[in-house]
Structure 1
Amino acid sequence: MRMVFRWFGENNDTVTLDQIKQIPGTEGIVWALHDVPAGEVWPLDKITEVHDLAKKYGLHTEVVESVNVHEDIKLGLPTRDQYIKNYIETIENLAKIGVKVICYNFMPVFDWARTDLFKELEDGSTALFFEQDKIHGVDPFDLVKLINQNSDLTMPGWEPERLAHLTSLFEAYKNVTEEDLWDNLKYFLDAIIPAAEKNGILMAVHPDDPPFPIFGLPRILNDQPGFRRLLSLHDSPANGITLCTGSLGAKPSNDIISMIHEFRGRIPFTHIRNVRVMDNGDFIETSHKTSDGTVDITGVVEAYHDTDFTGYCRPDHGRHIWGEQCRPGYGLYDRALGIMYLWGLWDAFSSQKKSSAGAASGEGK
């Protein structure tokens, strides 16, 4: 397991590279050019700038999250071919500075959704919260405003400029079915997977967040059968999954541990975080500690250890603790605590495995 930490850039993050390098066992950043609109080519000079800056702090830039897929590709419009061409050029540029994994998603309009960014937990910390009744009754325009008014830092996937296009996007998706979305995803993969293979990059799609339809928009990647179908579209290591335990864990029927075993070798990147799911379907993000949420984090780490996982891992979202003022879900303190919890589990399983091997060896003498 190779630990990395999401970072939004020098002028768009409260966490510094100097702080990230001090988190034990953390070797790189998960980054993106957030100022480049979806569909445009990422300029090599801007890519190199981030790479060189991280290198000064002894951190690599091997994982990118996300190279966003333009909506015309998801909609299957005639204009998609030019946007796919641009995407391939971005893949080629990223390969030049040693990028190994590109995380992306195929969710229409919104990359993720929450109804409260600072819901208070029992211990006084706050965290991202999703309320079923509120999401069903809210106007998407109001949700965009809510998410952006609570932070001075841009929230990825909810940039204010999206307001200008929401009406036309919802109209465009009105008659798009899940099968249409699958067809458009296959068209996209048919074009980019050969380019990814040629450039030594693994594409890793992120699950739907939350893992069910919202606002009447189709969603297709939120359970085991969905990922099984995705991998069947291209039997190539370059066609992989970003297995996010928090996103998938918001649907209690998902067996995440089974997914880790079944999709072994096709998970180049994982997000590990915990959520507590209520009986009515609401969920709130918690600490990484297994007993604090619904996701069996201990079992997840054990499954990765048992399958000899060598991919990249990040602690994903964290709570807001100790008075930290930060981008919602992306502070330093709780994510650093999460990393140490994950390493503690990993080390325990490594020690257990070593002891078992030693005992077995002794029995043979």
Structure 2
Amino acid sequence: MALEKTWRWFGEKDSVTLADLRQMGVEGVVTALHHIPNGEVWPVKEILKVKDQIEAHGMRWSVVESLPVSEGIKTHNHDYPRLIKNYQESIRNLGKCGIDCICYNFMPVLDWVRTDLHYTLDDGGEVMFFDFPTFVAFDAYILKRQGAEADYPQDIVIKAKKLAASMSEEQKELLAYNIIVVTQGFIDGVIDGSAPDYKKLFLEFIDTYKDIDANRLREHLRLFLGDVVPVAEQAGVKLCIHPDDPPFPVLGLPRIVSTQEDLEWICQQYDSIANGVTFCTGSLSVNQSNDLPAIVKSIGDRIHFTHLRNNVFLPDGCFHESGHIYGDVDLFPIMKALLEEQKRRIAEGRSDVRIPVRPDHGIKMLDDYDKSANPGYPLIGRLKGLAELCGLEMGIEKMMN
């Protein structure tokens, strides 16, 4: 039994249609109710509307990505009781509709970070790039967050200061807008760009974490799991937390889902299959001390969803994304470990042997330049990645059999 081929779809406004996905051999759709404001209940009627659309095209709604965890839950503020009640109700409603897998993250303020959304490869394709000195220049000298310089290695700070001094005001504004607004806009970010001073508002969100270190954020995650995992169990739903992207502290904010130890700790906080992990090779590999096949073997029974992609690592903690099986991450042992985990589940007689996998991000290429798409989500580049992953999977399966 092969891993379930899935695709992230952003709803009716997505330039890639459900009919396209069906022709591409996609089995499961990964999507969310992006029109529902963060913190509000997902109504059964709205869930069924999307589910019916997907099933009418011969596919299933495989994974919810994401059911957003509001900042008030992460900071455990005064609004926590209302927010957690709504989150629990949304889980129940998804379960009633037969949607059994929910991806979420616990990253403070920013969901993911890149400094260049249009980095050009030697062959002319475009990918997303994270340049560490450029990000520090944004934090310390454009955003001007108090104390930012002390949060990063001093050699990186020196380079960042020189970079900031060489940038025009237009370049600074574009960098800030891309990081704060563009990368977050399609995944229910905290700031949509309509605020008259979005940088000031962004700093205010960061400031809500001034008294929250990694240990306290872990405690908030533990409390969250205690409130939602029992509900998920009753609803027949599996929750799977997404790793930090990138997996190290930025903006002075704590990161608690970055290493094998972090993932094992999360699984231990509530001993239930409903308390699981989204295994993302792109995010976890950036922390080069992570042994990805070892992570699969360690917490494999809790991996409910998989993002597969690759990176090229550069000096100073910089990296850019690449083809799905071409880069500095060896996907062969990772794919093999995932298939071995699936076989183990089958041998155990588990009902949840299905492991959805999607080609995460992709190279912008060919006709992608003529289509509109969210950053990192071109059609042709992801379809190429899906084909590469399927070929790798088939080869490993035949070898194993």
Common fold, TM-score beyond 0.5? yes
Q: Which amino acid aligns with 2:366?
A: W
Identity %, equivalent residues: 38
Deviations along 1:220-250, one digit per CA (max 9) or x if unpaired, are 1001000111111001000000010000111
Cα offset, 1:150, TM superposition = 6.7
The separation in 1 between residues aligned to 2:237 and 2:50, in whole angstroms, is 18
Equivalent position of 1:146 in the other structure = 178
**Structure 2 residue identity aligned to 1:188:** F
Asked whether 1:106 is paired with 2:150, we answer no
Q: Which residue of 2 aligns with 1:357?
A: none
Out of 233, 258, 268, the position equivalent to 1:232 is 268
Which position in structure 2 is the counterpart of 1:301? 335
CA displacement at 1:279 relative to structure 2: 2.5
Change (3 A) 1:86 1:161: farther
Which residue does 1:5 correspond to in 2? 7
CA contact (8 A) 1:239 1:266 kept: yes
Three-state SS of the structure 1 residue aligned to 2:49 is: helix
Following superposition, the deviation at residue 62 of structure 1 comes to 2.7
Match of 1:58 in 2: 58
What pairs with 1:144-223 in structure 2 (closer than 5 Å)? 145-147=177-179, 154=186, 156-157=188-189, 159-160=192-193, 163=198, 165-223=201-259
Instruction: Choose 121-130 or 166-175, whichever is displaced more.
Output: 166-175
Give the structure 1 partner of residue 395 of structure 2.
348
The whole-number CA distance in structure 2 between the counterparts of 1:276 and 1:154 is: 25
**Whole-angstrom distance in 2 between the partners of 1:252 and 1:33:** 34
Give the alignment of 1:13-28 within 5 angstroms. 13-24=14-25, 26-28=26-28
Where does residue 276 of structure 1 map in the other structure? 312
| Deviation per residue, 1:177-229 (Å, 9 max, x gap) | 10110110011110000000000100000000011011111111001000111
Letter in 2 for 1:349: I
Unaligned runs of 5+ in 2: 144-172, 344-353
SS at match of 1:264: helix
Q: Closer, same or farther in 2 for the Cα pair 1:207/1:76, shift >3 Å? A: same
In structure 1, the residue matched to 2:148 is none
1:101-140 to structure 2, matched below 5 A, reads 101-139=101-139
Asked if 2 retains the 8 angstrom alpha-carbon contact of 1:14 and 1:331, the reply is no
Alignment of 1:329-340 (within 5 A): 329-340=376-387
Count of residues in Structure 1 that have an aligned counterpart in Structure 2: 349
Structure 1: runs of 5+ lacking an equivalent: 355-365
Partner AA of 2:192 in structure 1:
E
Between the aligned partners of 2:192 and 2:284, the Cα distance in structure 1 is 24
1:207–1:247: 8 Å Cα contact kept in structure 2? yes
Aligned 8 A contact 2:62 2:356 in 1: no
142-151 or 179-188, which deviates more:
142-151
The CA distance in 2 between the partners of 1:69 and 1:336, in whole Å, is 30
Structure-2 change in CA distance of 1:230 and 1:150 (3 Å): closer
RMSD (Å), alpha carbons: 1.8
Distance 1:131 1:343 in 2: 31
Contact 2:359 2:385 in 1 (8 A): yes
1:14–1:118 distance in 2 versus 1, CA, 3 Å = same
Distance 2:118 2:98 in 1: 37
Q: Looking at secondary structure, tell me which structure has more helix per residue.
A: 2
Counterpart of 2:97 in structure 1: which amino acid? Answer: I
Task: Tell me the amino acid that sits aligned with residue 130 of structure 2.
Answer: F
Match of 1:358 in 2: none
Q: Distance in 1 between matches of 2:188 and 2:327?
A: 25
Structure-to-structure mapping, 1:76-115, within 5 angstroms: 76-115=76-115
Alpha-carbon distance in structure 2 between the residues aligned to 1:69 and 1:149: 18
1:144-186 Cα distance to aligned partner (Å, 9 max, x none): 51258879x8455363258374232122111211011011001
Structure 1 contact 155–327 (Cα < 8 Å) conserved: no
Change (3 A) 1:130 1:106: same
Output one character per residue of 1:95-136: Cα deviation in whole Å (capped at 9) or x when no partner.
122111100000000110100111001110000110000111
CA contact (8 A) 2:181 2:193 kept: no
| Larger deviation, residues 64-73 vs 133-142 | 133-142
| 1:312 and 2:352 are equivalent in the alignment | no
Q: How far, CA to CA, are the matches of 2:192 and 2:309 in structure 1?
A: 24
Q: How many Å apart are 1:307 and its aligned residue? A: 2.0
**What is the distance in 1 between the residues matched to 2:181 and 2:106?**
26
Answering whether residue 78 of structure 2 is matched by residue 42 of structure 1, we say: no
Aligned residue type for 2:217: L
CA distance in 1, matches of 2:192, 2:176: 8
The 1:64–1:144 alpha-carbon spacing in structure 2 relative to 1, beyond 3 Å, is farther
CA contact (8 A) 1:144 1:160 kept: no
